Structure 1
Amino acid sequence: MKSWKYLMMTTMVGSALALGACGDDSTADEVENETGTEEAAATGDTQDEATLEGQVSGDGSSTVAPIMEALVEEYAAVQEKVKVTVGVSGTGGGFEKFIAGTTDFSNASRPIKDEEKAELEAAGIDYTEFKLANDGLTVVVSKDNDWVEDVTVEDLKKMWIEDGTTKKWSDINAEWPDEEIIFYSPGTDSGTYDYFDEVILDEADLVKAATLSEDDNVLVQGVQADKNAIGFFGYAYYLANQDTLKAVKIEGVEPNNETIESGEYSPLSRPLFTYVSNKALAENAALYDFMEYSLENAGDMAEAVGYVRLPDTEYEKGLSTLEALK
């Protein structure tokens, strides 16, 4: 299975990211930061910007993680004295930490829920939502599966809704094997789980036989290893493993940049977010600088790791919103 650093190295033009991918991280960061310092001097950036220090912490969605990890790695080359740490507890787990006040920002693969809004209000935490990219939640099977190419939303319901039976492929399509379906799903703290539950299952119970994990790499490995397995996760995780996984078309539409951006890949196209504490933005110059950098570069990083960038107007809107919070 390809690592994210390898994916970024092979998909993004630019020596900075290639250095981070194929060499010692600390050495690469030092080299890149020297270049960044020289460029800052040449363009007249202030000494304060070049020597910014501080700590920034975030957590949340494993789907958003590849974008955020790429941003953190590249940002380290620009501001080497700012330490940015990002955990991957799933969207729900990330919001729990955000509500508790232990993180500055929370990554999410779904919009914030009403109950989470209420808990943040009770905790006295004002926040701002920023969009980072678009994703197509991708249903996958092993490359060894030679019978599933296309399914309907109704097929997915039959597969994934718990009904007290042992699900077989032949139950979905009589021409498919009389073999038990092996399910892999994001865990219940995942925004991807929530999104699938809402748009496919209509909030019915997920099949109990499913293996659940907040780590999408566990799901990837599970589906790779069994021709009777099926799973779902963010589009970038499929792209990184498309040599061993097959994306299943939904209602005849395959997930790709064009169908995700247009919304034709329905109902599994969705935006990806980060939520940021307004108070932390006002008090922590390092957080503000990192978020500004993130919005300026999220489109490029999203494409580098396999997601779909937003229209430039969306990032400009986000930067204007951020500036108003300074």
Structure 2
Amino acid sequence: MLKKAILAACLTLSCAAAAQANTLVKIDGSSTVYPLTEAVAEEFQKGKKGAVRVTVGISGTGGGFKKFCRGEIDISDASRPILKKEMEACAAAGIKYIELPVAYDALTVVVNPQNSFIKTMTVEELKKIWEPTAQGKITKWNQVNPSWPDLPIKLFGAGADSGTFDYFTEAIVGKSKSSRGDFTASEDDNVLVQGVSRDKGALGFFGYSYYAENTKKLKAVAIAEKAGKSGVLPSFDTVKNGTYQPLSRPVFIYVSAKSLEKPEVREFVDFYLANAAKYAKAVKMVGLPDKAYKQTQSNFKAKKTGTGFGGVPEVGVSVEELLQREGKH
């Protein structure tokens, strides 16, 4: 009888352990989307009172997609759409996905607060600094604009696995991943914040929420699309009204269709979409229009797989248009 009781207890514990193992939602990817996903995850877990655990990693958008297309995670945070090579990797592994925009971000260009000569920069000036041919040649501020001082430029930017790097180079240089290589790169935006805050001649870029959390350490630069145009600072209003260009962008979560077989993943995504606007505001990101969230929820409910981009980067696309497009695989 004792042996039977011990065996029964072991089986019960094994079943409980197995159930516990299954109630895990695994997320990785973009450092830009991380604050929003982490905020949603914390609140979701509170409601579940320990029954579901949600892990959120930061390996960059590219790093997240690598794990996602290997079937290692349920959800990939992305600050840019999935690229053709990633679509092919997912297809080869039989991974289907649902593309869900969750907020807007204003990719923010920042300088050190002691920098008194930069208030506005044009896209052309930024290109002159960041394009590949600038490496080893454009090293001082007066080489970009003769009215600026003879002061060394120290550059900080997102790493090569970051969707922020992809979007910035596409919007500023004109080609994704086209950039000089002699800058301090990191997928951890906090490293970039610290770097810019410590060097008077520094320039960097990352998601708006990291700037908003560090306004005493950093100064945002107004962006002018062309010379002669007024510069526009990133803000909730300038992102929503479309005047902060070309560095406003939607950010996404990609959900594995196979992972939706797990009720905890379905419940988490439902919770995410229902509360994204509230938590976006809390982490200094810009929520989508209500109509867009309703369409996003509708697409999720219908399990609309694929991407509205087709593996090709686009700058300036509206979320409303994106959500109506036929998904490409």
SS at match of 2:300: helix
Q: Please list the CA deviations of residues 79-108 of structure 1 after superposition, one character each: whole Å capped at 9, or x if unmatched.
A: 121000011000000000001100001010
Which amino acid letter does the alignment assign opposite residue 208 of structure 1? Answer: G
Displacement after TM superposition at 1:166 (Å):
4.3
Which letter does structure 2 place at the counterpart of 1:210? F
User: Which residue of structure 1 aligns with residue 209 of structure 2?
Assistant: 236
Structure number with greater Rg is: 2
- Where is the helix percentage greater, Structure 1 or Structure 2? 1
1:175 equivalent to 2:175? Answer no
4+ aligned runs moved over 6 Å, structure 1: none
Give the SS at the match of 1:200.
Answer: helix
Tell me the CA shift for residue 321 of structure 1: 2.1
1 CA distance for matches of 2:234 and 2:267? 34
* Partner residue, 1:262: 241
Contact 2:155 2:183 in 1 (8 A): yes
Residue equivalent to 2:179: 206
For residues 186-244 of structure 1, give each alpha carbon's deviation from its aligned partner in whole angstroms, at most 9, with x where no partner exists: 00000000001111112274222200000000000000001100000001111000112
Match of 1:10 in 2: none
Distance 2:154 2:69 in 1: 36
Provide the identity percentage. 49
**Partner secondary structure for residue 132 of structure 2:** coil
Trace 1:121-200 onto structure 2 (pairs within 5 A): 121-163=91-133, 164-200=136-172
Question: Could you tell me the TM-score, scaled by structure 1's length?
Answer: 0.82
Structure 2, unaligned runs of 5 or more: 1-19, 225-230, 305-329
Residues 103-122 of structure 1 mapped to structure 2, 5 A cutoff: 103-122=73-92
Which one of 41, 45, 59 corresponds to residue 28 of structure 2? Answer: 59
Whether 2:254 is the aligned partner of 1:287: answer no
Q: Following the alignment from structure 1 to structure 2, what is the Cα–Cα distance between the partners of residues 168 and 321?
A: 49
Q: Deviations over 1:165-201 (max 9, x none)?
A: 1421001121211011000010000000000111111
- 1:324: Cα distance to partner? 2.4
The residue number in structure 1 matching 2:15 is: none
Cα drift, residue 261 of structure 1: 1.4
Mapping 1:66-85, distance limit 5 Å: 66-80=35-49, 81-85=51-55
Tell me the amino acid that sits aligned with residue 130 of structure 2: W
Query: 2:290 is matched with which residue: 304, 312, 317?
Result: 312
Of 176, 190, 197 in structure 2, the residue corresponding to residue 224 of structure 1 is 197
CA–CA distance in structure 2, aligned partners of residues 106 and 219 of structure 1:
23
Check whether the contact 1:166–1:180 (CA below 8 A) recurs between aligned residues. no
Q: Distance in 2 between matches of 1:56 and 1:152?
A: 42
Contact 1:142 1:226 in 2 (8 A): yes
- The gaps in structure 1 that reach 5 residues or longer are 1-50
SS of structure 1 residue aligned to 2:36? helix
Instruction: Note if contact 1:250-1:265 (Cα within 8 Å) is conserved in structure 2.
Output: yes
Amino acid of the structure 1 residue aligned with 2:293: Y
Distance in 2 (CA, whole Å) between partners of 1:325 and 1:177 is 55
Q: Distance in 1 between matches of 2:138 and 2:69?
A: 39
- Give the aligned residue type for 2:273: L
Q: Distance in 1 between matches of 2:181 and 2:62?
A: 20
Structure 1 CA distance for aligned equivalents of residues 162 and 255 of structure 2: 19
